[in-house]
Amino acid sequence: MSTTAQQLPTNGEGAHTRPLISIRDLSKRYETKKGATVALDGIDLDIAEGEFVSVVGPSGCGKTTLLKILAGLEERTAGDALLGGASIAGPRNDIGIAFQGSVMLPWRRIIENVLLPVELNEKPTPAHRERAHALLALVGLGEFADSYPNELSGGMQQRAAICRALVHDPSLLLLDEPFGALDALTREQLNVQLNSVWEQSGKTALLITHSISEAVYLSQRVVVMSPRPGRIVDVIEVPFGRKRGAEILTDPKFGEVADKIRQHFNGERKNG
């Protein structure tokens, strides 16, 4: 199943919002000694400006490959991926990325780690530092700006990594299992904080995750992918507004959406 601009969220008046990301017939093939391996096959997807979309699917279905192509870290074999109407041909300053590991530089204070994307392009200004401090305060790390990474827990470091991905004010935030290595309780708490950051920043975000509940909680739409070769088999809308708290986890509608996603994978196990 492909999803096009006609399936984008509306602005509340029936008009569809403008896509920031447009993916058209995207494919990725790897050549190996055993022959070609198709990781992605014919991906079509639009993501609206300001939208939060999650991608779920079994291991090896090409989720992270898709993210790397959007980040400009990997070349596509066929098709196109556009950000703001321009093809993504390599790393761009208007994209922020957070991976599963926080990758904090141990010899730099947290504030200096957060400012690293800015330093790669220019000398940080007082405005950059003000934004970095504001982001740390937003995720509850304001008092830890001058601490070193080894003085923070894994969850705190991941929060700092989200700040680092946003400090240069990118138009697109890419998240590759940022909380995947954390315990369930910490992960749930960070999901609430991440939703708050997204709500206040208004950024377009794409999350790669194996957690169905995480995808439903954070997203406006959830993209379901098939086993390799990765194809989009469903795009499911989440019936909750932008502002949401932990209470939706017990809402019957939450369970209904999660079950709808889970049915895709239950069917695969039965047929496997």
Whether residue 196 contacts residue 137, with contact meaning beta carbons closer than 8 Å, is answered with no
- Percent of the chain exceeding pLDDT 90 equals 69
pLDDT tens across 115-150, in order? 999 998 888 889 999 999 999 999 999 999 999 999
DSSP at 229 = S
Q: Residue 8 has what pLDDT? A: 56
The per-residue pLDDT for 7 is: 55
Give the percent of the chain with pLDDT over 70: 92
Question: With DSSP H G I counted as helix, E B as strand and the rest as coil, what are the percentages for the chain, rounded to 5?
Answer: 40, 25, 35
Considering only the C-alpha atoms of the chain, give the largest distance between any 2 of them, rounded to a whole number of Å.
58
Question: What is the bridge-based pairing of β-strands 35-48 and 19-32?
Answer: antiparallel
How much is the mean pLDDT over the chain?
89
Say if CB 205 and CB 53 are below 8 A apart: yes
- State yes or no: pLDDT of 269 exceeds 70: no
212 contact partners, CB below 8 Å, separation of at least 6: 56, 258, 261, 262
Higher-confidence position of 246 and 16: 246
pLDDT value, residue 5: 35
What local confidence, expressed as pLDDT, does residue 267 receive? 61
- pLDDT number for residue 2: 40
At 186, the pLDDT band (50, 70, 90 cuts) reads confident
Number of Cβ atoms within 10 Å of the Cβ of 91: 10
CB atoms under 10 Å from CB of 42, counted, come to: 16
pLDDT of 9 higher than 70: no
Question: Is a pLDDT exceeding 60 seen at residue 270?
Answer: no
Instruction: Assign 246 a pLDDT band (cuts: 50, 70, 90).
Output: confident
Can you tell me the distance from the alpha carbon of 71 to that of 91, in angstroms, rounded to the nearest whole number?
6
Distances from the Cα of 64 to the Cα of 15, 74, 108, 138, 237, angstroms: 31, 10, 28, 28, 21
| First vs last C-alpha separation in the chain | 21
Q: Which segment, 84-88, 177-181, 245-249, is predicted with the most confidence on average?
A: 84-88
Residues 208-232 pLDDT 10s:
999 999 999 999 999 999 998 999 9
pTM of the predicted model as reported, rounded to 2 decimal places: 0.89
Q: Which residues of 5-40 are buried (b: 16+ CB within 10 A; e: fewer)?
A: eeebeeeeeeeebebbbbbbebbbeeeeeeeeebbb
